Amino acid sequence: MRFLAERDYLVKTLALVGRAAQARGVGSSTRSGIKFVVDGNLATLTATDIDTTIITTMEVDGKENGSGVIPSRLMTDIARSMPEGSVSVVVEDDKAIIEAGRTHFEVQIYPLETFPPTPDITGDEVELPAKSLSEAISQVVRSASDDEVRPVLTGVLLSANETSLRLVATDSYRLAIRDLTDTKAISSGTQVLVPAKALHEVDRMAESQGEDSIFLYMDGLHARFRIGNTSLTTQLINDSFPSYEQLIPKEFIQTIKVEKSVILEAIKRMRLLVRDATTSVRLTTDDGGLELAVITSEVGKAVERMDGDIEGEATSTSFNPQYLADGIEAVIESEVMIRVPEKGKPALISGVSDDNYRYVLMPVRVS
């Protein structure tokens, strides 16, 4: 195998596909490598950690067809360090030779025959609007858990009815829901649980590829997302997502409408005094408007008042500041609505004119 590629193009492609490679240090195996297959002037790159597989293609100046598995992180670091211009990549025997200008690297490669096979998914392809799906993914994945002890909470639920697709994620402290109206990706009544990490990569791919559509294939075990010349295949989580509908509050004693940018900047300032996960931000309302406060015996106190449209009873509720900021930041509109039920029950965050995105946030108990 031998080909030439422009450095910046090569680095961008390696960074894209390499995110699926197993982290270095987990074990010296082909799963920490990128498989190259050169056929004419087209190179196909594949990386996998078994759970997730990314495949993409790039145009190259092909000199000799062939294949090889090169360590992902090392290959990317070497390519990034090269001078501008063309980079030569040659695989022969048990090594890869990488050259540019007067720089020469020789890297031991992995056995091609031990590289994991790509999952074979059959079924109909469904076309989804890339912008809307990417937006929905970015809104909900932040609420998924990263604790592998409860795998079901590390996933995002995709469920469908006759007219819409719903994405749901929770880590048991907050719950994010996004409805994509007039969108059908799976059969009505069907529910699948997709790893949040995989969907996060789909979101990044959609942003970098700039395509109008995302194509989705699914079977009972896997989901494959194709964007332009790149595809991501992930194993589905074989578990039942927790019942969540009853957690969405329906009755409220107060509604707060406030400019999104104003309250986010205030939370950012309040967090300067936050030193650990036990420190909360207190949200208080009265006739004069809205107040945020953080009080810690070890550091000090921060208070900020702001204007807002307040309806209902005066309240005082404490929240995890990071979780509060996450929910508000995910609102697409410039104005955010925070609806507060009776004390001790979760608040509901959404846009003012559109509730296709809803964020349920548990309060923090403060002694």
Average pLDDT over residues 186-202: 88
At 336, which amino acid appears? Answer: V
CA-nearest of 90, 97, 91, 88 to 112 is 91
Let me know: does 279 contact 254? Beta carbons within 8 Å: no
Tens of pLDDT, residues 210-246: 889 999 998 888 999 999 999 999 999 999 999 999 9
Least confident piece of the model among 12-26, 32-46, 315-329, 346-360: 12-26
**Once rounded to an integer, what is the mean pLDDT over residues 295-315?**
90
| First vs last C-alpha separation in the chain | 67
Q: What is the per-residue DSSP string for 54-76?
A: EEEEEE-EEEE-EEEEEEHHHHH
- Of 147-151, 252-256, 295-299, give the lowest mean pLDDT range: 295-299
pLDDT exceeds 80 at position 344: yes
Query: What's the pLDDT at 30?
Result: 79
Average pLDDT of every residue of the chain = 92
Residue 317 near residue 348 (C-beta atoms within 8 A) = no
pLDDT band at residue 301 using 50, 70 and 90 as cut-offs: very high
Helix segments in the chain, DSSP class H: 7-18, 72-81, 130-140, 196-209, 260-270, 321-329
Average pLDDT of 321-333? 96
Provide the 10 A C-beta neighbour count for residue 212: 11
Per-residue confidence (pLDDT) for residue 23, from 0 to 100? 63
Provide the β-strand partners of residue 39: 42
pLDDT at 365 (0 to 100):
85
Confidence band, pLDDT 50/70/90 cuts, at residue 24: low
pLDDT tens-digit series, residues 71-122: 999 999 999 999 999 999 999 999 999 999 999 999 999 999 999 998 888 7
CB-neighbour burial class of residue 298 (10 A; exposed 0-12, middle 13-18, buried 19+): exposed
Domains of the chain plus CATH, in order, are 2-114 (3.10.150.10), 126-235 (3.10.150.10), 248-361 (3.10.150.10)
Whether the predicted model's global pTM rises above the 0.75 cut: yes
State yes or no: pLDDT of 285 exceeds 80: yes
**What pLDDT, on the 0 to 100 scale, is given for residue 367?**
62
pLDDT reported for residue 208: 85
Instruction: State the average pLDDT over residues 244-258.
Output: 94
